[in-house]
Amino acid sequence: MTIPAGSLLTAQDLRKVYGPTTALDGACFSIHPGEVVAVMGPSGSGKSTLLHCLAGIVMPDSGSITYNGREVTAMSDAERSALRRSEFGFVFQFGQLVPELTCVENVALPLRLNGSSRKEAERTALAWMERLEVDDLRKKRPGEVSGGQGQRVAVARSLVTNPRVVFADEPTGALDSFNGERVMELLTDAARSANTAVVLVTHEARVAAYSDREIVVRDGKSRDMERVV
Amino acid sequence: MSVRQWSRDLGMGARFALAGGREGWTRALLTAVGVGLGVALLLLTTAIPGALAERDRREEARSDHTFGQQEIPKADDTLIVVDSDTIFRDRDVRGRMLEPEGPKAPLPPGVSAFPADGEMVVSPALKELLASRDGRLLRERLDYRITGAIGEQGLVGSQELAYYAGGKGLAERLEGPASGARIDSFGNPDLGSPDPWDPVLLLLVLVVFVVLLMPVAVFIAAAVRFGGERRDRRLAALRLVGSDSRMTRRIAAGEALAGSVLGLVLGTGFFLLGRQLAASVEVFRVSVFPSYLNPSPLLAVLVALAVPAAAVLVTILALRGVVIEPLGVVRTARPARRRLWWRLLLPLGGLALLYPMMGQGDDGGNFNQYLVVGGVMLLLIGVTALLPWVVETVVARLGSGGVAWQLAVRRLQLSSGVAARMVNGIAVAVAGAIALQMLFAGVEGNYTRASQYDVSRAQMSADVPEGSDAAPVAAQYRDTEGVRKVTTLSDFHLGDRREADALIQITVADCASLREVAKLPDCRDGDLFAAKGSEYDGDSERLAVPGTRLWAESEESGRAGDRTVTWTVPRGIRQAESREDPTGYERGGLLITPGALPGKLKALMSTRLFLSVDPSVPDAYDHVRNTAARLDPTSQPMTWHSIESNDRYAAIRTGLSVGAACVLALIGASLLVSQLEQLRERRKLLSSLVAFGTRRRTLGLSVLWQTAIPIGLGLLLAAAVGMALGAVLLRMTNTSVRVDWPSVLSVTGIGAGVVLVVTLLSLPPLLKLMRPDGLRTE
Amino acid sequence: MSIGHTLLGLLESGPRHGYDLKRAFDEKFGHDRPLHYGQVYSTMSRLLKNGLVEVDGIEAGDGPERKRYAITEAGVTDVARWLATPEKPEPYLQSTLYTKVVLALLTHRDAGDILDTQRSEHLRSMRILTDRKRKGDLADQLICDHALFHLEADLRWLELAAARLDKLREAVTR
């Protein structure tokens, strides 16, 4: 597969084996700045592993990942951590908010990891929470807010560093369709206006409909539907 | 409520405890191991008095002679016993030379036949030592053929070094300085009961026991709460399918019961294992046989009942604070603030119990044991009661800091109880240890004293065998490896007449040796000096006058004495100022060089050698002892120490150190277990934090802070309570209160060290948990 | 959809002219297919005949005749009955898609391909609907959601069918 010009993040021929199971078997991927790409496929197909590889969380057994001209697979763990801190944002299905911290502290966390002062970080965090309509929760802890609210807090956190790419792994998986769609709407609106690319792993077509295009992962192999049709 | 319902619920809980898949098993095992370790320590503690009594009994059964016992005539049931104890490196070797005088002579316990002359029977440990490379020097000294082993009944410990050697003509030795006797039986029933315990020592023992056992109790309480959060969730699920709150409580009790019973079983196992291991270790020169370590049945039953009961009680108490609803443990925004007043009551109550006994330590005043134990326990429990309050109060006020600090502080703010519970054990142990250290340091003066010996001048002394010429003996020592200098001093006394009224001490030595006892102007062989300046020379001045006739004092100088020997003090006596000899004794009388001593007086002399040993020569002391044994197997050269201490006091201090080490290790283990458990529960969160780029260092630091903050507070509180308790105990023994800062710091330092080790040990699993695999959905 | 009942329901809030009725209908329900005036006229005369509406007044004007209709008691009852009667669930046998999938399996083609292509096509529509939903008002959202859920249901069925037919093929070809 040829890499489309102007791609922000591309992956070529990724392979990853966990023990007896082959999670990725020659998967490819590419995304442009500001683009929302849905990664679809049945459960166990390797969607999440693809996302983890693209984000530099997991190293593939073979293949190459290029972000902004840099080879991710050649980076050290510290470099990849720094990349995730500064250039990427993350939303997971659940369990990603630190239960002891208040919501605003949770949102401010990535900024603080990047070295911002607490005050400044929390001011920026609050602005993002306003944007995601959860600023009234700032003093509450994750245990005290509903699932939809918590997920919006998580979206605010994923965007707070103005990342170039947001990785969202089933971000609405634990939500009802109303809350789920609201989260998708807020996420994609915010991402589009900030020219942030979104890699969206989901198995729900209605959630995937918020994307610009989709790729399908089946048995560890990826299929870019735009180029097929 | 029917019995069937109860047993059904309890049984259900027990099943939950044991059959929860791998996760459930791990938790049950952790609880059981925790409780088991505690139980093993408790059983061991209950067995110690019995073990010590058994040692005493065996020691008594093999006792052979005492000072001032009745002399008995030689018969066919008599045996000559002569002590030939020795020391190898820093270990005591019990030695006896035996010579049966008839066919019915009594055999010592554990010995089946008398060793013949030149043969010996040895304890297993000694046999092993002699056969090893290390024992080469000792083998030279105990140059007998090994013909048998001493059985267990004849030994007081598995690692005891002991031998019985056969001898010939030992009866003659009884006349000399050797310690021994003619006996017709072993085991002296007339030894009488040992001295009653000094009340202060008794106080120490009581406090040591309480201080060691309290943390174990705290530890067991913590162990049964392993996996508490998961259990709460499970109970919530049970509520959902229709069990009421009483039923859930009973089910939880059943779980705790199952865990603690499993713990009892494991604990018994650990104990039996430890009992076997006990045979192969020697703790501070005390070893025991496994058969000694039998817990007293009453105490064992008490442990077997108290541990499960405590487990259930702790569980029920812990559940009191949580409302388990069908949809999960209630999301309480914040638990009620902890109150201070009742927490303060406990330590104050403890002080109140101890107060009436202030100042009773002197003059054999007695302490009420129950009040002591009760008071100390209350004070220490006070630590566990106050600590959660302290942690909560302080942590609530902690301000901002880095991310690691923020993560740690926030977590502590939300669950300060968990944190406090984790360090309770350490705090109690440290508080107790500080109090004890203070007490020890305070009363140390009463039980140890600096010896008079000047170890910078000589480190050993040896007697010249009776009737031997001192010079060749001294030469032998001088040629011994590691001996730098030998000072030979011979003494005897002469009287003013036949039935002497006044005595004068005569010291015979060469010039070099004389300089060790007096400041001599100059000296040549043949010189005589009168020592001045000693406080013991009452009669010397009158008698040390040239021309005075002096009589040999037969009663004083033993069998060599001859009443008819007289000596006239010659002219030419010079004055010399006396100085302390290496034993710290300042002598008076006459100092005579060998050239000035008439031959007829030589038989009166008893000679002692002072040896200066080169500490850099390995085993120098043992080379000296070998020389001594070569000269006379019953001789026992003395090794000098600058401090002498009361044996029993030393034993208590030893016990404390060993116990404290065990307890801290145990608590460290529990700390590690709960730490790992907490980490596991946060696995998903940790992985996602790593996913968005959190540095591992940040997470590691936050774990460290999370432990270090409560530990720091715990140690501060422990130091305060410990010093208060120490002060009270010192007041009780009428000793001036003085804070022994080095020991306070060292004990708290050890506590802090345990935390550091635990944190370090939990880092590898933490790093493992932080791997992105945690993000994969199960 | 029963246009008669819908128009009756619109009249419940008050009498209206025929043209008003058409406009209200188009605004709320007729996104894709606006009503012809003739349809309104014929429906109203049927309702009038059945006594479900009555003529409230007639206005003469320059345009077409302007009759004002009002709902009768019987009309209100009829609307209530209509709303209370459940619709018969329609068993959408997706015959074309089903045939395609089965054929693919029988001819050893990749059913996954058909699924992926179909999903891509479905998603294309769904994106358009989603976009419209985001820009539209509440009514738009409800209608688009209805369509979206149906499209999603198709996709789910396809996925399930493919997974099951895979097994079926294994069983058949063994």
Taking only the tens place, the pLDDT of each residue in B612-629 is 888 788 888 888 888 888
Q: Is the pLDDT of residue B333 over 60?
A: no
pLDDT in tens, B665-705: 777 777 787 777 777 777 778 888 888 788 888 888 888 88
What 3-state class would DSSP assign to A39?
strand
pLDDT at B331: 42
What 3-state class would DSSP assign to C115?
helix
Query: pLDDT tier at B332 (50, 70, 90 boundaries)?
Result: very low
C119–A206 CB contact, under 8 Å? no
Q: Do chains A and C touch (3 or more CB pairs under 8 A)?
A: yes
Q: What mean pLDDT do residues B435-462 have?
A: 72
Segment holding B450, helix H or strand E: strand B448-450
Residue among C112, C134, C159 whose CB faces A185 most closely: C134
Cβ atoms of A188 and A181 closer than 8 Å = no
Q: Is the pLDDT of residue A34 over 60?
A: yes
The closest of B337, B434, B317, B353 to B393, measured between CA atoms, is B337
Cα distance between residue A160 and residue A169, in whole Å: 18
C163–A206 CB contact, under 8 Å? no
Residue among B400, B414, B688 whose CB faces A92 most closely: B688
Instruction: Please list, residue by residue across B402-415, b when 16 or more beta carbons sit within 10 angstroms of its beta carbon and e when fewer do.
Output: bbbbbbbbbbbbbb
Exposed, middle or buried: residue B100 (CB in 10 Å: 0-12, 13-18, 19+)?
middle
pLDDT at A9: 93
pLDDT at B424: 82
Cα distance between residue C40 and residue B542, in whole Å: 156
Q: Compute the count of residue pairs across chains A and B with CB atoms less than 8 Å apart.
A: 83
pLDDT at A142: 85
Cα distance between residue B166 and residue B184, in whole Å: 17
pLDDT at B778: 37
Of residues B363 and B172, more confidence is placed in B172
| Strand boundaries in B569-668, DSSP class E | 573-578, 590-592, 606-613, 638-639, 643-645
Query: pLDDT tier at A66 (50, 70, 90 boundaries)?
Result: very high
Which residues of A make CB contacts under 8 Å with C? Answer: 40, 42, 185, 204-206, 208-212, 214, 216, 218, 223, 225, 228-229
The closest of A82, A26, A40, A31 to A202, measured between CA atoms, is A40
Segment holding B181, helix H or strand E: strand B180-183
CA atoms within 13 A on the CB side of B180: 28
Q: What's the Cα-to-Cα distance from B536 to each of B346, B532, B533, B573, B717, rounded to whole Å? A: 59, 10, 9, 19, 55
- The DSSP secondary structure of A64-107, one letter per residue, reads EEEETTEEGGGS-HHHHHHHHHHHEEEE-SS--S-TTS-HHHHH
Cβ atoms of A67 and A87 closer than 8 Å = yes
Pick among A101, A145, A199 to test the B interface (most B CBs inside 10 A): A101
User: Which amino acid makes up residue B63?
Assistant: S
pLDDT at A228: 44
What 3-state class would DSSP assign to B16?
helix
Segment holding B514, helix H or strand E: helix B511-514
Of residues B223 and B298, more confidence is placed in B298
Exposed, middle or buried: residue B172 (CB in 10 Å: 0-12, 13-18, 19+)?
exposed
Chains near C with 3+ CB pairs less than 8 A apart are A
pLDDT in tens, B554-564: 544 444 445 56
pLDDT at B567: 83
Confidence (pTM)? 0.62
Q: Is the pLDDT of residue B22 over 70?
A: no
User: Which amino acid makes up residue C2?
Assistant: S
CA B686 to chain centre: 45
Cα distance between residue A8 and residue A142, in whole Å: 33
A57–B413 CB contact, under 8 Å? no
Q: What's the Cα-to-Cα distance from B475 to each of A187, B525, B636, C97, rounded to whole Å? A: 99, 18, 18, 116
Q: What mean pLDDT do residues C81-91 have?
A: 68
CA quadruple B593, B599, B605, B611: dihedral positive or negative?
positive
Q: Is the pLDDT of residue C33 over 50?
A: yes
Q: Is the pLDDT of residue A16 over 80?
A: yes
Of residues B102 and B656, more confidence is placed in B102
Cα distance between residue B139 and residue B227, in whole Å: 58
Q: Which CATH architecture has domain C3-84?
A: Orthogonal Bundle (1.10)
Q: Which residues contact B273 (CB under 8 A, 6 or more apart)?
A: none
The closest of B461, B475, B508 to B603, measured between CA atoms, is B508
Question: What is the CB neighbour count within 10 angstroms for residue B285?
Answer: 15
DSSP summary character for residue B544 = -
A155: its two tokens:
């979206």
Q: Provide the residue ranges of all domains of chain B, joining segments of one domain with +.
A: 1-63+197-333, 79-186, 337-450+645-778, 460-640
Cβ atoms of A78 and B690 closer than 8 Å = no
pLDDT at B756: 82
Q: Do chains B and C touch (3 or more CB pairs under 8 A)?
A: no
Cα distance between residue B692 and residue B436, in whole Å: 50
What 3-state class would DSSP assign to B643?
strand
Residue among A204, A212, A225 whose CB faces C120 most closely: A225
B691–A112 CB contact, under 8 Å? no
CA B402 to chain centre: 45
Question: Which chain A residues have a beta carbon less than 8 Å from that of B689?
Answer: 98
Cβ atoms of A208 and A199 closer than 8 Å = no
**Domains defined along chain A, listed by start:** 9-228 (3.40.50.300)
Give chain B's mean pLDDT: 77
Segment holding B15, helix H or strand E: helix B3-18
SS3 content of chain C, % helix, strand, coil (to 5): 70, 10, 25
The closest of B154, B162, B165 to B98, measured between CA atoms, is B165
DSSP summary character for residue B291 = G
Question: Which chain C residues have a beta carbon less than 8 Å from that of A225?
Answer: 116-117, 119-120, 123
